[in-house]
Amino acid sequence: MKFPPRIHCILAPKARNGVVIRRGPSHTSCLIRWQLDRDEFQIGQWMRARIFARRSDLSPDGQHFIYFALNGRWHTESKGSWTAISRAPYLKALVMVPKGDCWDGGGLFLAPRTYWLDHGCVNSFLRDDPHLVRALDYSPPPQAGGEYFPIYYLRLIRDGWTWRRDLPAQHGAVFDKKAGPRTYLRKYCLAGCVSEQGVGVEHERHAIVHASGEVLEDHPDWQWADLDRRRIVWAAGGKLYQATPSRRGLSGPRLVHDFNDMEFEARAAPY
């Protein structure tokens, strides 16, 4: 059975662009630039590896991308898994740190050229760039939240989401972002085995909720969703959509882009 690609997007905190991480088949990834004002898309590079979207980040100006990748080639110089920083929307590493396993990994931007690396004690950089500075004096808050809290949960909070610790979520956490005067976009960040085919261990559900707590619309099929100014954008079935939030839910949903028919293509980075 063929499943649609998995889509996860990261919107630059201080720029009108973002990146689309397209995964599919399982260990094939593609990075695509998303120009938000015009909804234009530029293919960057493909990689025969899995990119862990929850351990990745985009710099505030949208110029650099930090990611954790796995290809399982444990005897190569990358040690089979690694964290890298590239120039978005490309994947060629300017900074590359071999990992050798899947515990932790990835990083978070603290400023346009300053990043935190979730590697613990790092002994060696396979590649480094003097224009990109690793913050050695930063450590995430000592709070529970699972393996992804140091990167994904902090990224969500940084980008305007509120962690709803008062709401239970089995094997995960609940986040809200204000979408209107009395309307919120709710994100369930989940991690755990599910019986539904085509749904990964790391997955999300979403809903549109009223300030009173009433669920206006439930969207278990949305793989990713966020607010882009006054519109809600989301991914489902390998496609991106948008709609305007209202007091009763969403109005005027429309297709933004379809990523289903893309195929691997060897592309060189222009640097």
Helix intervals (H) in 127-244: 154-158
Residue 54 and residue 57: Cα distance in Å, rounded? 8
In a domain, 268, yes or no: no
User: Is 199 a residue whose pLDDT tops 90?
Assistant: no
Give the pLDDT confidence score for residue 169 in this predicted structure: 75
Total domain count, the chain: 1
Residue 162 and residue 174: Cα distance in Å, rounded? 8
Give the pLDDT confidence score for residue 174 in this predicted structure: 95
In a domain, 13, yes or no: yes
User: Is 64 a residue whose pLDDT tops 90?
Assistant: yes
Average predicted confidence (pLDDT) for the chain: 91
In a domain, 264, yes or no: no
Range of lowest pLDDT (54-68, 121-135, 147-161): 147-161
In a domain, 266, yes or no: no
In a domain, 126, yes or no: yes
Instruction: Note the pLDDT tens digit of each residue in 139-148.
Output: 887 664 455 5
* CA-based nearest residue to 194, from 185, 186, 184, 204: 204
User: Is 228 a residue whose pLDDT tops 70?
Assistant: yes
Residue 87 and residue 268: Cα distance in Å, rounded? 12
User: Is 192 a residue whose pLDDT tops 90?
Assistant: no
Q: Higher confidence at residue 75 or residue 121?
A: 75
In a domain, 36, yes or no: yes
Give the pLDDT confidence score for residue 123 in this predicted structure: 66
Nearest 5°: CA angle at 57, between 27 and 153?
100
> Token digits for 129?
């760039």
In a domain, 61, yes or no: yes
Mean pLDDT confidence for 105-126:
90
Give the pLDDT confidence score for residue 194 in this predicted structure: 56
Give the pLDDT confidence score for residue 234 in this predicted structure: 98
Burial annotation 217-228 (CB, 10 A radius, 16+ → b, else e): eebeebbbbbbb
Mean pLDDT confidence for 10-18:
97
Range of lowest pLDDT (26-40, 85-99, 142-156): 142-156
With the C-alpha atoms ordered 116, 118, 124, 129, is the resulting torsion angle positive or negative? negative
Question: In terms of C-beta density within 10 A (0-12 exposed, 13-18 middle, 19 or more buried), how is residue 267 classed?
Answer: middle
Give the pLDDT confidence score for residue 129 in this predicted structure: 97
Ramachandran angles phi, psi of 96, nearest 5° = -140, 125
Residue 179 and residue 184: Cα distance in Å, rounded? 5
Range of lowest pLDDT (57-71, 240-254, 255-269): 240-254
Give the pLDDT confidence score for residue 144 in this predicted structure: 45
User: Is 216 a residue whose pLDDT tops 90?
Assistant: yes
Give the pLDDT confidence score for residue 191 in this predicted structure: 76
Range of the domain at 209: 6-258
Residue 158 neighbours by CB under 8 Å, 6+ apart: 13
Residue 103 and residue 108: Cα distance in Å, rounded? 16
User: Is 161 a residue whose pLDDT tops 50?
Assistant: yes
In a domain, 267, yes or no: no
Instruction: Note the pLDDT tens digit of each residue in 19-45.
Output: 999 999 888 999 999 999 999 999 999
Residue 187 neighbours by CB under 8 Å, 6+ apart: 156, 161, 174, 175, 176, 177, 204, 205, 206, 225
pLDDT > 70 fraction of the chain, expressed in percent and rounded? 93
